[in-house]
């Protein structure tokens, strides 16, 4: 076993120009650096990042050596939710140290210094307490709790998909099949809404529109988080994307949007019924009218709908904005409740958390949740 610094000495040096944010590991912000396109012709792997304030330079080996222990996980919840914070820390304790394949560093060296290359270099800044163990660099996580109960790891999740695959080479990448649909159907069952989104929806859409599966998934997700509303126009939003997918043919794009608006009308009614029942169940279970604006999702996280970011001038716009964020919050809660159960069933085997999946060192035992399927993906 050796340190990551020892390993990097075998590579051509990668240089940074640093500012004050790089001095203290706890305050370091990689996103504050800018890329300087000037690069040595002879030395593959040379990179200069410029900080506008100072222009001091430091090599990557010295930077990683100063990373040290990761700061405590950022779990920002209300003071009244101290029990939730304790529970979340216990959950993160079951996630093993992160693992980065050495193939990732080799992939960085072979790329031109484009946006992907920069994202990869910045990720190395978050490999706290890195150690070489065989073909992997193990590191201490720094997770930040985000909307709905998701955890964000800057070393891994900042990367584009191409580099994520290199990062987790020969590890098992588990992903929830049709995650959005599974979470929606779970909520429909829980709140007794007589509607289910069929898994064949993507196939039907592909046959009717001629779009790819990925594009159809994006249409479903966007429409779901707009509570089933579809705007028939190509100036912005979903309409602009469909217009682009159709090769900038306005007539074809509008035809798809009109069909989609009609096809999705049962889902729109079901989502409206779901939100009505969520509001009704919350009012019945709420201990005090003073807490009517505070909604909890499946992992116990609280959403305050009286927050300034959801306030609008007109009442109906404000209610729409609140309903949109509440629906997304509830869906994320179901997704993360499933992820937490997966980690609890496999302590020490999951080494990285992704939004709708996990990365593991070996085969996992999966919970028996109706409608949920988790598979290993490339």
pLDDT digits (tens, 9 = 90+) for 215-224: 999 999 999 9
Residue 66's pLDDT band (boundaries 50, 70, 90)? Answer: confident
pLDDT at 129: 87
132: β partners = 2, 137
Q: Could you identify the residue written with the tokens 């031109």?
A: 112
- Is it the case that residue 116 has pLDDT exceeding 70? yes
pLDDT at 362: 93
Where would I find the beta strands (DSSP E) of the chain? 2-3, 15-18, 34-36, 48-50, 56-59, 98-101, 128-133, 136-140, 143-145, 151-153, 172-176, 294-296, 302-304, 350-354, 357-360, 374-377
Which of the two residues, 38 and 226, has the higher pLDDT score? 226
Which of the two residues, 225 and 105, has the higher pLDDT score? 225
- Is it the case that residue 236 has pLDDT exceeding 70? yes
pLDDT at 327: 96
Strand order in the sheet with 374-377: 350-354, 357-360, 172-176, 374-377
pLDDT digits (tens, 9 = 90+) for 124-147: 878 888 888 888 889 999 999 999
pLDDT digits (tens, 9 = 90+) for 255-264: 999 999 999 9
Which of the two residues, 60 and 308, has the higher pLDDT score? 308
Rounded mean pLDDT, 252-271: 95
- Is it the case that residue 78 has pLDDT exceeding 90? no
- Is it the case that residue 99 has pLDDT exceeding 70? yes
- Is it the case that residue 322 has pLDDT exceeding 90? yes
Sign of the dihedral through C-alpha 167, 170, 176, 180:
positive
- Is it the case that residue 346 has pLDDT exceeding 90? yes
- Is it the case that residue 201 has pLDDT exceeding 90? yes
pLDDT at 43: 35
- Is it the case that residue 36 has pLDDT exceeding 60? no
- Is it the case that residue 243 has pLDDT exceeding 90? yes
Residue 41's pLDDT band (boundaries 50, 70, 90)? Answer: very low
Rounded mean pLDDT, 187-198: 95
152: β partners = 144
pLDDT at 37: 45
- Is it the case that residue 150 has pLDDT exceeding 60? yes
pLDDT at 240: 94
Instruction: State the Cα–Cα distance between residues 85 and 87, nearest whole angstrom.
Output: 5
pLDDT digits (tens, 9 = 90+) for 284-294: 998 888 889 99
Q: What is the average pLDDT score of the chain?
A: 85
Q: Cβ distance 233 to 239 under 8 Å?
A: yes
Strands 350-354 and 357-360: antiparallel
Which of the two residues, 346 and 6, has the higher pLDDT score? 346
- Is it the case that residue 77 has pLDDT exceeding 80? yes
């Amino acid at each position: 076993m050796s340190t990551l610094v020892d390993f990097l000495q075998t590579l051509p040096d990668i240089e940074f120009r640093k500012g004050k944010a790089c001095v203290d590991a706890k305050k370091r912000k990689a996103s504050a650096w800018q890329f300087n396109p000037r690069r040595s012709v002879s030395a593959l792997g040379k990179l200069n990042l410029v900080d506008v304030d100072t222009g001091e330079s430091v090599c990557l080996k010295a930077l990683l050596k100063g990373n040290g222990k990761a700061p405590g996980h950022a779990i920002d919840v209300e003071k009244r939710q101290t029990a939730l914070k304790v529970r979340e820390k216990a959950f993160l304790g079951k996630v093993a140290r992160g693992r980065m394949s050495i193939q990732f560093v080799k992939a960085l060296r072979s790329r031109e210094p484009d946006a992907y290359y920069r994202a990869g270099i910045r990720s190395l800044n978050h490999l706290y307490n890195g150690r070489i163990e065989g073909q992997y660099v193990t590191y201490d996580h720094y997770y930040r709790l985000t909307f709905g109960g998701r955890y964000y790891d800057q070393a891994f999740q900042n990367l584009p998909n191409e580099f994520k695959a290199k990062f987790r080479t020969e590890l098992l990448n588990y992903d929830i099949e049709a995650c959005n649909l599974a979470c929606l159907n779970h909520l429909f069952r829980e709140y007794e809404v007589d509607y289910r989104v069929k898994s064949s929806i993507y196939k039907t859409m592909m046959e009717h529109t001629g779009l790819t599966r990925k594009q159809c998934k994006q249409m479903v997700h966007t429409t779901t988080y707009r509570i089933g509303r579809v705007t028939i126009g190509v100036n912005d939003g979903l309409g602009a994307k469909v217009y682009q997918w159709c090769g900038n043919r306005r007539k074809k794009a509008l035809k798809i949007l009109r069909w989609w608006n009609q096809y999705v009308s049962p889902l729109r009614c079901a989502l409206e019924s779901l939100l009505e029942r969520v509001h009704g169940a919350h009012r019945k279970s709420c201990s005090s009218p003073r807490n009517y604006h505070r909604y909890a999702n499946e992992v116990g996280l609280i959403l305050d709908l009286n927050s300034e970011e959801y306030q609008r001038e007109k009442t109906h716009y404000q209610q729409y904005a609140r309903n949109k964020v509440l629906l997304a919050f509830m869906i994320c809660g179901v997704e993360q409740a499933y992820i937490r159960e997966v980690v609890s069933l496999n302590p020490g085997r999951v080494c990285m958390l992704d939004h709708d999946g996990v990365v593991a060192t070996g085969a996992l035992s999966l919970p028996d949740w109706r409608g949920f399927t988790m598979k290993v993906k490339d």
